[in-house]
Structure 1
Amino acid sequence: MRTASKSDQRFWDRLASKYARQPISDQETYEKKLAITRKYLTPQSSIFEFGCGTGSTALLHAPHVDYILATDLAENMLDVGRVRAAEADIQNVDFQRIGIEEFDPAGHSFDVVLGLNILHLCRDPDAVTRKVRALLKPGGHFIQSTACLKDASFILRLAIPVMQAVGKAPTVSFLSEDDILSMLDRNGFDLTESLRTDSSMSANFYVAQKRQA
Protein backbone atom coordinates (compact mmCIF):
# COMPACT_ATOMS: atom_id res chain seq x y z
CA MET A 1 0.00 0.00 0.00
CA ARG A 2 1.35 3.42 -0.96
CA THR A 3 1.74 5.63 2.09
CA ALA A 4 1.13 9.35 2.39
CA SER A 5 4.06 11.58 1.50
CA LYS A 6 5.97 13.98 3.70
CA SER A 7 4.91 16.79 1.36
CA ASP A 8 1.24 16.04 2.07
CA GLN A 9 1.96 16.08 5.79
CA ARG A 10 3.67 19.46 5.49
CA PHE A 11 0.83 20.82 3.33
CA TRP A 12 -1.81 20.02 5.96
CA ASP A 13 0.38 21.18 8.84
CA ARG A 14 0.77 24.57 7.14
CA LEU A 15 -2.98 24.79 6.55
CA ALA A 16 -4.04 23.89 10.10
CA SER A 17 -4.68 27.38 11.48
CA LYS A 18 -6.62 28.55 8.43
CA TYR A 19 -8.53 25.26 8.25
CA ALA A 20 -9.56 25.53 11.90
CA ARG A 21 -11.05 28.99 11.30
CA GLN A 22 -13.10 28.05 8.25
CA PRO A 23 -16.86 27.82 8.78
CA ILE A 24 -18.79 24.83 7.51
CA SER A 25 -19.88 25.68 3.98
CA ASP A 26 -23.23 23.85 4.10
CA GLN A 27 -24.41 23.52 7.69
CA GLU A 28 -27.74 21.94 6.75
CA THR A 29 -26.11 19.08 4.84
CA TYR A 30 -23.50 18.66 7.57
CA GLU A 31 -26.26 18.24 10.16
CA LYS A 32 -27.92 15.62 7.96
CA LYS A 33 -24.66 13.68 7.78
CA LEU A 34 -24.25 13.84 11.55
CA ALA A 35 -27.78 12.54 12.03
CA ILE A 36 -27.27 9.66 9.60
CA THR A 37 -24.01 8.70 11.27
CA ARG A 38 -25.58 8.60 14.72
CA LYS A 39 -28.04 5.95 13.56
CA TYR A 40 -25.04 3.60 13.52
CA LEU A 41 -23.57 4.66 16.88
CA THR A 42 -24.32 3.27 20.33
CA PRO A 43 -22.99 4.12 23.79
CA GLN A 44 -20.82 1.01 23.45
CA SER A 45 -19.37 1.88 20.03
CA SER A 46 -15.65 2.02 19.39
CA ILE A 47 -14.81 4.37 16.49
CA PHE A 48 -11.75 4.82 14.29
CA GLU A 49 -11.52 8.01 12.22
CA PHE A 50 -8.77 8.58 9.67
CA GLY A 51 -8.06 12.01 8.26
CA CYS A 52 -9.86 13.61 11.20
CA GLY A 53 -8.29 17.05 10.66
CA THR A 54 -8.99 19.23 13.69
CA GLY A 55 -11.33 16.59 15.12
CA SER A 56 -14.46 18.74 15.04
CA THR A 57 -16.75 15.91 13.89
CA ALA A 58 -15.20 13.38 16.26
CA LEU A 59 -15.84 15.73 19.18
CA LEU A 60 -19.49 16.13 18.16
CA HIS A 61 -19.94 12.35 18.06
CA ALA A 62 -18.05 11.74 21.32
CA PRO A 63 -21.10 12.00 23.65
CA HIS A 64 -22.83 9.23 21.66
CA VAL A 65 -20.10 6.55 21.82
CA ASP A 66 -17.69 4.84 24.17
CA TYR A 67 -14.41 5.71 22.47
CA ILE A 68 -12.99 7.42 19.36
CA LEU A 69 -9.45 7.09 18.03
CA ALA A 70 -9.05 10.11 15.74
CA THR A 71 -6.01 10.02 13.44
CA ASP A 72 -4.44 12.39 10.96
CA LEU A 73 -1.09 13.05 9.28
CA ALA A 74 -0.86 16.65 10.48
CA GLU A 75 0.23 17.18 14.08
CA ASN A 76 -0.83 20.83 13.91
CA MET A 77 -4.37 19.76 13.03
CA LEU A 78 -4.44 17.30 15.89
CA ASP A 79 -3.19 19.92 18.34
CA VAL A 80 -6.28 22.01 17.57
CA GLY A 81 -8.45 18.99 18.33
CA ARG A 82 -6.67 18.29 21.59
CA VAL A 83 -7.21 21.87 22.76
CA ARG A 84 -10.89 21.78 21.82
CA ALA A 85 -11.37 18.44 23.57
CA ALA A 86 -9.77 19.78 26.74
CA GLU A 87 -11.88 22.95 26.63
CA ALA A 88 -15.06 20.86 26.29
CA ASP A 89 -13.88 18.30 28.89
CA ILE A 90 -14.24 15.49 26.34
CA GLN A 91 -12.17 12.57 27.54
CA ASN A 92 -13.13 9.68 25.25
CA VAL A 93 -11.37 10.93 22.10
CA ASP A 94 -7.70 10.13 21.57
CA PHE A 95 -5.75 11.93 18.84
CA GLN A 96 -2.87 10.13 17.12
CA ARG A 97 -0.63 11.28 14.28
CA ILE A 98 -0.54 8.43 11.80
CA GLY A 99 -1.86 7.59 8.37
CA ILE A 100 -4.33 4.75 8.02
CA GLU A 101 -1.84 2.99 5.76
CA GLU A 102 0.66 2.67 8.62
CA PHE A 103 -1.82 2.18 11.43
CA ASP A 104 -1.39 -1.10 13.32
CA PRO A 105 -4.56 -2.02 15.25
CA ALA A 106 -2.62 -4.52 17.38
CA GLY A 107 -5.52 -6.95 17.40
CA HIS A 108 -8.20 -4.35 18.12
CA SER A 109 -11.20 -3.78 15.86
CA PHE A 110 -13.86 -1.11 15.61
CA ASP A 111 -17.62 -0.87 15.24
CA VAL A 112 -17.44 2.09 12.86
CA VAL A 113 -14.70 3.60 10.71
CA LEU A 114 -15.13 7.23 9.63
CA GLY A 115 -13.40 8.62 6.55
CA LEU A 116 -14.82 12.09 6.09
CA ASN A 117 -13.59 14.13 3.12
CA ILE A 118 -10.42 12.05 2.98
CA LEU A 119 -10.64 9.02 0.66
CA HIS A 120 -10.10 11.15 -2.46
CA LEU A 121 -6.98 12.55 -0.77
CA CYS A 122 -5.43 9.10 -0.35
CA ARG A 123 -2.78 7.83 -2.76
CA ASP A 124 -4.42 4.40 -3.02
CA PRO A 125 -8.14 4.60 -2.15
CA ASP A 126 -8.71 0.96 -3.05
CA ALA A 127 -6.04 -0.26 -0.63
CA VAL A 128 -7.36 2.08 2.06
CA THR A 129 -10.85 0.64 1.61
CA ARG A 130 -9.42 -2.86 2.10
CA LYS A 131 -7.65 -1.65 5.25
CA VAL A 132 -10.92 -0.20 6.56
CA ARG A 133 -12.58 -3.58 6.14
CA ALA A 134 -9.77 -5.24 8.10
CA LEU A 135 -10.23 -2.73 10.93
CA LEU A 136 -13.97 -3.35 11.29
CA LYS A 137 -15.72 -5.87 13.47
CA PRO A 138 -18.12 -8.28 11.70
CA GLY A 139 -21.11 -6.26 10.54
CA GLY A 140 -19.31 -2.97 11.23
CA HIS A 141 -19.87 0.16 9.15
CA PHE A 142 -17.64 2.33 6.99
CA ILE A 143 -19.03 5.87 6.84
CA GLN A 144 -17.44 8.23 4.33
CA SER A 145 -17.80 11.57 2.58
CA THR A 146 -15.90 11.57 -0.70
CA ALA A 147 -15.66 14.22 -3.41
CA CYS A 148 -16.38 12.77 -6.85
CA LEU A 149 -13.74 14.82 -8.63
CA LYS A 150 -13.77 12.70 -11.76
CA ASP A 151 -17.30 14.01 -12.26
CA ALA A 152 -16.19 17.62 -11.73
CA SER A 153 -15.80 20.23 -14.47
CA PHE A 154 -13.04 19.88 -17.05
CA ILE A 155 -11.51 23.18 -15.92
CA LEU A 156 -11.24 21.99 -12.31
CA ARG A 157 -9.67 18.71 -13.40
CA LEU A 158 -7.05 20.69 -15.31
CA ALA A 159 -6.48 23.16 -12.48
CA ILE A 160 -5.72 20.65 -9.72
CA PRO A 161 -2.44 19.34 -11.22
CA VAL A 162 -1.29 22.93 -11.75
CA MET A 163 -2.07 23.76 -8.12
CA GLN A 164 -0.20 20.64 -7.01
CA ALA A 165 2.85 21.69 -9.01
CA VAL A 166 3.09 24.98 -7.09
CA GLY A 167 2.33 23.45 -3.68
CA LYS A 168 -1.23 24.73 -3.46
CA ALA A 169 -2.91 21.31 -3.47
CA PRO A 170 -2.11 17.92 -1.90
CA THR A 171 -2.33 14.45 -3.40
CA VAL A 172 -5.74 13.99 -5.05
CA SER A 173 -7.34 10.83 -6.46
CA PHE A 174 -9.96 11.45 -9.14
CA LEU A 175 -12.95 9.24 -8.31
CA SER A 176 -16.47 9.07 -9.69
CA GLU A 177 -19.50 7.84 -7.81
CA ASP A 178 -19.34 4.62 -9.85
CA ASP A 179 -15.71 4.20 -8.80
CA ILE A 180 -16.63 4.53 -5.13
CA LEU A 181 -19.55 2.11 -5.30
CA SER A 182 -17.52 -0.44 -7.25
CA MET A 183 -14.64 -0.11 -4.80
CA LEU A 184 -16.94 -0.76 -1.85
CA ASP A 185 -18.48 -3.79 -3.53
CA ARG A 186 -15.27 -5.52 -4.57
CA ASN A 187 -13.73 -4.94 -1.14
CA GLY A 188 -16.54 -6.63 0.75
CA PHE A 189 -19.03 -3.90 1.60
CA ASP A 190 -22.77 -3.53 1.04
CA LEU A 191 -24.11 0.00 0.62
CA THR A 192 -26.57 0.81 3.41
CA GLU A 193 -27.55 4.37 2.52
CA SER A 194 -26.23 7.47 0.82
CA LEU A 195 -26.71 11.20 0.62
CA ARG A 196 -25.80 12.71 -2.72
CA THR A 197 -25.05 16.38 -3.19
CA ASP A 198 -26.02 18.57 -6.12
CA SER A 199 -22.44 19.57 -6.88
CA SER A 200 -19.60 17.22 -7.80
CA MET A 201 -17.31 19.55 -5.85
CA SER A 202 -19.18 18.60 -2.68
CA ALA A 203 -18.62 15.28 -0.98
CA ASN A 204 -21.21 12.56 -1.42
CA PHE A 205 -21.96 10.61 1.74
CA TYR A 206 -22.03 6.82 1.92
CA VAL A 207 -22.68 4.28 4.66
CA ALA A 208 -21.51 0.74 3.87
CA GLN A 209 -21.65 -2.38 6.02
CA LYS A 210 -18.89 -4.97 6.15
CA ARG A 211 -20.19 -7.98 4.28
CA GLN A 212 -20.25 -11.26 6.14
CA ALA A 213 -17.70 -13.74 4.82
Structure 2
Amino acid sequence: MSTASDARFWDRSSRKYAISAIADQAGYERTLDRTRALLRPNDRVLELGCGTGTTALRLADHVQGYLATDISAEMIAIANEKYAAGPIPALVFRTATAEALTPAAAQFNAVLGFSYLHLVRDLPGTLRRIHAVLAAEGLFISKTPCVGDMNPLIKFALPAMRAIGKAPYAGVFRAADLRRHICAAGFDILATENHATKGNEARPYIVARKI
Protein backbone atom coordinates (compact mmCIF):
# COMPACT_ATOMS: atom_id res chain seq x y z
CA MET A 1 0.00 0.00 0.00
CA SER A 2 1.26 3.49 -0.90
CA THR A 3 0.08 6.97 -1.75
CA ALA A 4 -0.23 5.75 -5.35
CA SER A 5 -2.67 3.06 -4.23
CA ASP A 6 -4.56 5.67 -2.22
CA ALA A 7 -4.88 7.80 -5.35
CA ARG A 8 -6.16 4.81 -7.33
CA PHE A 9 -8.77 4.08 -4.64
CA TRP A 10 -10.12 7.63 -4.77
CA ASP A 11 -10.01 7.65 -8.57
CA ARG A 12 -12.21 4.54 -8.60
CA SER A 13 -14.54 6.00 -5.96
CA SER A 14 -14.78 9.52 -7.38
CA ARG A 15 -18.10 9.31 -9.23
CA LYS A 16 -19.85 7.52 -6.38
CA TYR A 17 -18.33 9.99 -3.92
CA ALA A 18 -19.55 12.92 -6.01
CA ILE A 19 -23.22 11.89 -5.72
CA SER A 20 -23.12 10.77 -2.08
CA ALA A 21 -25.07 12.85 0.42
CA ILE A 22 -23.36 14.74 3.25
CA ALA A 23 -24.11 12.76 6.41
CA ASP A 24 -24.65 15.82 8.63
CA GLN A 25 -25.62 18.75 6.42
CA ALA A 26 -26.31 21.08 9.34
CA GLY A 27 -22.94 20.30 10.88
CA TYR A 28 -21.27 20.91 7.52
CA GLU A 29 -22.99 24.29 7.20
CA ARG A 30 -21.79 25.19 10.69
CA THR A 31 -18.24 24.34 9.66
CA LEU A 32 -18.52 26.46 6.52
CA ASP A 33 -19.88 29.44 8.47
CA ARG A 34 -17.15 29.20 11.10
CA THR A 35 -14.42 28.89 8.48
CA ARG A 36 -15.78 31.74 6.40
CA ALA A 37 -15.68 33.97 9.48
CA LEU A 38 -11.98 33.17 9.96
CA LEU A 39 -10.97 33.98 6.40
CA ARG A 40 -10.18 37.53 5.27
CA PRO A 41 -10.78 39.07 1.82
CA ASN A 42 -7.04 39.35 1.08
CA ASP A 43 -6.19 35.79 2.16
CA ARG A 44 -4.52 33.20 -0.01
CA VAL A 45 -5.99 29.84 0.94
CA LEU A 46 -4.86 26.26 0.35
CA GLU A 47 -7.33 23.41 0.75
CA LEU A 48 -5.90 19.90 1.05
CA GLY A 49 -8.02 16.87 0.17
CA CYS A 50 -10.66 18.97 -1.56
CA GLY A 51 -12.40 15.96 -3.12
CA THR A 52 -14.84 17.06 -5.81
CA GLY A 53 -14.61 20.71 -4.81
CA THR A 54 -17.84 21.23 -2.87
CA THR A 55 -16.25 23.19 -0.03
CA ALA A 56 -13.90 25.16 -2.28
CA LEU A 57 -16.80 26.33 -4.42
CA ARG A 58 -18.58 27.56 -1.28
CA LEU A 59 -15.61 29.46 0.18
CA ALA A 60 -13.42 30.67 -2.67
CA ASP A 61 -15.39 33.81 -3.53
CA HIS A 62 -14.65 35.22 -0.06
CA VAL A 63 -10.84 35.39 -0.48
CA GLN A 64 -8.18 36.70 -2.86
CA GLY A 65 -6.87 33.31 -3.94
CA TYR A 66 -7.89 29.72 -3.30
CA LEU A 67 -5.88 26.65 -4.38
CA ALA A 68 -7.85 23.44 -3.89
CA THR A 69 -5.86 20.20 -4.13
CA ASP A 70 -6.50 16.48 -3.98
CA ILE A 71 -4.44 13.32 -4.46
CA SER A 72 -7.01 12.00 -6.96
CA ALA A 73 -6.91 13.28 -10.55
CA GLU A 74 -10.45 11.99 -11.06
CA MET A 75 -11.74 13.96 -8.06
CA ILE A 76 -10.10 17.08 -9.49
CA ALA A 77 -11.65 16.37 -12.90
CA ILE A 78 -15.11 16.36 -11.33
CA ALA A 79 -14.28 19.53 -9.38
CA ASN A 80 -13.32 21.23 -12.64
CA GLU A 81 -16.61 20.11 -14.20
CA LYS A 82 -18.43 21.87 -11.36
CA TYR A 83 -16.18 24.91 -11.75
CA ALA A 84 -17.02 25.16 -15.44
CA ALA A 85 -20.70 25.48 -14.54
CA GLY A 86 -20.00 28.46 -12.27
CA PRO A 87 -16.42 29.80 -12.46
CA ILE A 88 -14.90 31.67 -9.52
CA PRO A 89 -11.84 33.71 -10.58
CA ALA A 90 -10.01 33.20 -7.29
CA LEU A 91 -10.28 29.40 -7.42
CA VAL A 92 -7.85 26.90 -8.97
CA PHE A 93 -8.07 23.10 -8.69
CA ARG A 94 -4.89 21.01 -8.86
CA THR A 95 -3.92 17.37 -8.35
CA ALA A 96 -1.38 17.54 -5.50
CA THR A 97 -0.64 16.65 -1.88
CA ALA A 98 0.84 18.77 0.90
CA GLU A 99 4.17 17.03 0.39
CA ALA A 100 4.28 18.03 -3.29
CA LEU A 101 4.03 21.77 -2.60
CA THR A 102 7.16 23.91 -2.49
CA PRO A 103 7.20 26.13 0.61
CA ALA A 104 9.23 28.89 -1.07
CA ALA A 105 6.73 29.15 -3.90
CA ALA A 106 3.51 28.91 -1.94
CA GLN A 107 2.95 31.02 1.15
CA PHE A 108 -0.67 30.82 2.28
CA ASN A 109 -2.55 32.73 4.96
CA ALA A 110 -4.74 29.71 5.71
CA VAL A 111 -4.57 25.98 5.05
CA LEU A 112 -7.77 23.94 5.29
CA GLY A 113 -7.89 20.19 5.78
CA PHE A 114 -11.41 18.76 6.04
CA SER A 115 -11.59 14.95 6.37
CA TYR A 116 -7.92 14.95 5.44
CA LEU A 117 -5.45 14.28 8.23
CA HIS A 118 -6.73 10.78 9.02
CA LEU A 119 -5.93 9.82 5.40
CA VAL A 120 -2.26 10.86 5.35
CA ARG A 121 0.43 8.24 5.94
CA ASP A 122 2.92 10.47 7.75
CA LEU A 123 0.91 12.71 10.06
CA PRO A 124 3.87 14.51 11.71
CA GLY A 125 5.55 15.04 8.32
CA THR A 126 2.37 16.37 6.71
CA LEU A 127 1.81 18.79 9.59
CA ARG A 128 5.38 20.07 9.25
CA ARG A 129 4.81 20.67 5.53
CA ILE A 130 1.56 22.52 6.26
CA HIS A 131 3.49 24.68 8.73
CA ALA A 132 6.12 25.36 6.07
CA VAL A 133 3.68 26.60 3.42
CA LEU A 134 1.87 28.94 5.81
CA ALA A 135 2.78 32.61 6.09
CA ALA A 136 3.72 34.00 9.50
CA GLU A 137 0.83 33.57 11.95
CA GLY A 138 -1.19 31.79 9.26
CA LEU A 139 -4.09 29.56 10.26
CA PHE A 140 -4.43 25.81 9.88
CA ILE A 141 -8.05 24.67 10.11
CA SER A 142 -8.81 20.96 10.40
CA LYS A 143 -11.88 18.79 10.82
CA THR A 144 -11.10 15.11 10.50
CA PRO A 145 -12.32 11.80 11.98
CA CYS A 146 -10.35 10.67 15.02
CA VAL A 147 -10.77 6.93 14.55
CA GLY A 148 -9.22 6.18 17.94
CA ASP A 149 -12.20 7.87 19.62
CA MET A 150 -14.78 5.97 17.56
CA ASN A 151 -16.30 2.53 17.96
CA PRO A 152 -13.36 0.09 18.47
CA LEU A 153 -14.81 -2.20 15.79
CA ILE A 154 -13.97 0.41 13.15
CA LYS A 155 -10.21 0.23 13.63
CA PHE A 156 -10.31 -3.56 13.44
CA ALA A 157 -12.48 -3.55 10.32
CA LEU A 158 -10.34 -1.05 8.40
CA PRO A 159 -7.41 -3.40 7.59
CA ALA A 160 -9.77 -6.06 6.24
CA MET A 161 -11.63 -3.52 4.13
CA ARG A 162 -8.35 -2.15 2.76
CA ALA A 163 -7.22 -5.67 1.86
CA ILE A 164 -10.21 -6.13 -0.46
CA GLY A 165 -10.08 -2.60 -1.87
CA LYS A 166 -13.14 -1.31 -0.01
CA ALA A 167 -11.34 1.35 2.05
CA PRO A 168 -8.32 3.63 1.71
CA TYR A 169 -5.53 3.98 4.23
CA ALA A 170 -6.79 5.60 7.46
CA GLY A 171 -4.67 6.49 10.46
CA VAL A 172 -5.93 5.61 13.93
CA PHE A 173 -5.47 8.38 16.48
CA ARG A 174 -7.44 10.13 19.20
CA ALA A 175 -8.33 13.82 19.26
CA ALA A 176 -5.81 14.32 22.07
CA ASP A 177 -3.10 12.70 19.91
CA LEU A 178 -4.01 14.94 16.97
CA ARG A 179 -3.78 18.08 19.08
CA ARG A 180 -0.39 16.95 20.39
CA HIS A 181 0.92 16.39 16.84
CA ILE A 182 -0.37 19.79 15.71
CA CYS A 183 1.38 21.54 18.59
CA ALA A 184 4.60 19.57 17.98
CA ALA A 185 4.61 20.78 14.37
CA GLY A 186 4.82 24.40 15.52
CA PHE A 187 1.23 25.50 16.03
CA ASP A 188 -0.73 27.15 18.82
CA ILE A 189 -4.25 25.70 19.01
CA LEU A 190 -6.76 28.54 19.28
CA ALA A 191 -10.00 26.53 19.34
CA THR A 192 -11.32 22.97 19.38
CA GLU A 193 -15.02 22.68 18.60
CA ASN A 194 -17.69 20.07 17.91
CA HIS A 195 -19.80 21.03 14.91
CA ALA A 196 -21.84 17.82 14.75
CA THR A 197 -25.61 18.16 15.05
CA LYS A 198 -26.14 14.40 15.40
CA GLY A 199 -24.10 13.82 18.53
CA ASN A 200 -20.34 13.91 19.00
CA GLU A 201 -18.96 12.15 15.93
CA ALA A 202 -15.30 12.40 16.99
CA ARG A 203 -14.52 14.91 14.24
CA PRO A 204 -13.14 17.91 16.12
CA TYR A 205 -12.92 21.23 14.33
CA ILE A 206 -9.50 22.62 15.22
CA VAL A 207 -8.18 26.12 14.55
CA ALA A 208 -4.41 26.48 14.98
CA ARG A 209 -2.03 29.37 14.35
CA LYS A 210 1.55 29.06 13.07
CA ILE A 211 4.10 30.15 15.68
User: Which AA in structure 1 matches 2:131?
Assistant: R
Partner of residue 128, structure 1:
126
Task: For residue 106 of structure 1, report the CA deviation from its aligned partner.
Answer: 4.1
- 8 Å Cα contact 1:4-1:99 kept in structure 2: no
Question: Is the aligned partner of 1:93 residue 2:71?
Answer: no
Partner of residue 66, structure 1:
64
Please give the per-residue CA displacement for 1:107-135, whole angstroms capped at 9, x wherever unaligned.
33000001110100000111111111111
Alpha-carbon distance in structure 2 between the residues aligned to 1:53 and 1:4: 19
Higher helix share: 2
Question: Is the aligned partner of 1:21 residue 2:23?
Answer: no
Partner of residue 204, structure 1:
204
SS at match of 1:17: helix
Which of 155, 159, 163 aligns to 1:157? It is 155
Alpha-carbon distance in structure 2 between the residues aligned to 1:8 and 1:140: 29
Alpha-carbon distance in structure 2 between the residues aligned to 1:199 and 1:159: 21
Alpha-carbon distance in structure 2 between the residues aligned to 1:108 and 1:101: 12
Alpha-carbon distance in structure 1 between the residues aligned to 2:102 and 2:117: 19
SS at match of 1:170: coil
Task: For residue 204 of structure 1, report the CA deviation from its aligned partner.
Answer: 1.7
Task: For residue 105 of structure 1, report the CA deviation from its aligned partner.
Answer: 4.0
Alpha-carbon distance in structure 1 between the residues aligned to 2:209 and 2:127: 12
TM-score by length of 2: 0.94
Alpha-carbon distance in structure 2 between the residues aligned to 1:52 and 1:135: 17
Partner of residue 8, structure 2:
10
Distance 1:30 1:206, change over 3 A: same
Aligned residues between the structures: 208
Task: For residue 96 of structure 1, report the CA deviation from its aligned partner.
Answer: 1.0
Task: For residue 20 of structure 1, report the CA deviation from its aligned partner.
Answer: 0.6
Partner of residue 53, structure 2:
55
- 8 Å Cα contact 2:104-2:133 kept in structure 1: no
Stretches of structure 2 that go unaligned for 5 or more consecutive residues are none
Following TM superposition, where does structure 1 have runs of at least 4 consecutive aligned residues deviating by more than 6 angstroms? none
Which of 31, 54, 59 aligns to 2:29? It is 31
Task: For residue 4 of structure 1, report the CA deviation from its aligned partner.
Answer: 5.3
Please give the per-residue CA displacement for 1:144-189, whole angstroms capped at 9, x wherever unaligned.
1111101111211111111011111111110101111111111111
Partner of residue 174, structure 1:
172
Distance 1:190 1:106, change over 3 A: closer
User: Which AA in structure 2 matches 1:207?
Assistant: V
TM-score by length of 1: 0.93
Stretches of structure 1 that go unaligned for 5 or more consecutive residues are none
User: Which AA in structure 2 matches 1:136?
Assistant: L
Task: For residue 50 of structure 1, report the CA deviation from its aligned partner.
Answer: 1.1
- 8 Å Cα contact 2:102-2:133 kept in structure 1: no
- 8 Å Cα contact 1:85-1:91 kept in structure 2: no
Partner of residue 116, structure 1:
114
Identity of aligned residues (%): 37
- 8 Å Cα contact 2:144-2:204 kept in structure 1: yes
SS at match of 2:105: coil
